[in-house]
Amino acid sequence: MSVRLDRTTLLVCTRCRIGDAAPEKPRAGARLFAETARAAAGSERVRVVGIACLSGCKRACAAALMAPGKVGYLFGDLPPDADGAADLVTAALAHARRPEGFLPRAERPERLRAGILARLPPPHWLEDEQQAVIA
């Protein structure tokens, strides 16, 4: 199996609900997943995958960017519409282009600045036994 370093996987939670209202059908997460898949259709660099939960439930809708050897991101507070999907695909394309996947705050779409829940280093950064702090 070959690993593509120029492609980012965009994980979109399909089970997110917004607020305490009676469960909508389809769920907000499922709507965001469908819109995101539509927005990324035909892209060689972005693969959209639905996932049952990203543990960002209190900040729905949630989605994550991941790629081998790169920084990973978890975002929340995304609207389940075409605008939220477009922001995710824009960020995923930037993530795919960057060798280490860093997405500086100023270069992320507005909603993905305030809505960032986590930024995780790639595992290979943790292999240095002497390194006590990762910049």
List of residues contacting ligand FES (CB under 6 A): 13, 15-16, 29, 53-57, 60, 62
Q: Which residue number, 56 or 72, has a Cβ lying nearer to ligand FES?
A: 56
Cβ of residue 32: shortest distance to ligand FES, in angstroms? 10
* DSSP output for 64-117: EEE-TTS-EEEE----SSHHHHHHHHHHHHHHHHSSS----GGGS-THHHHTEE
Instruction: Give 32 or 103: the residue with its C-beta nearer to ligand FES.
Output: 32
Strands 116-120 and 72-75: antiparallel
Residue 32's alpha-carbon distances to 7, 68, 85, 100, in angstroms, are 20, 24, 6, 26
Residue 34, SS3 per DSSP = helix
The CB-of-17 to ligand FES minimum distance in angstroms stands at 7
Closest separation between CB of residue 26 and ligand FES, Å? 13
Whole-number Å distance between alpha carbons of 117 and 25:
26
Minimum distance, C-beta of residue 70 to ligand FES, in the bound complex (Å): 21
The residue (of 40 and 63) whose beta carbon lies closer to ligand FES is 63
**Which C-beta is closer to ligand FES: that of 54 or that of 94?**
54
Residues 14 and 3: their CA atoms lie apart, in Å, by: 26
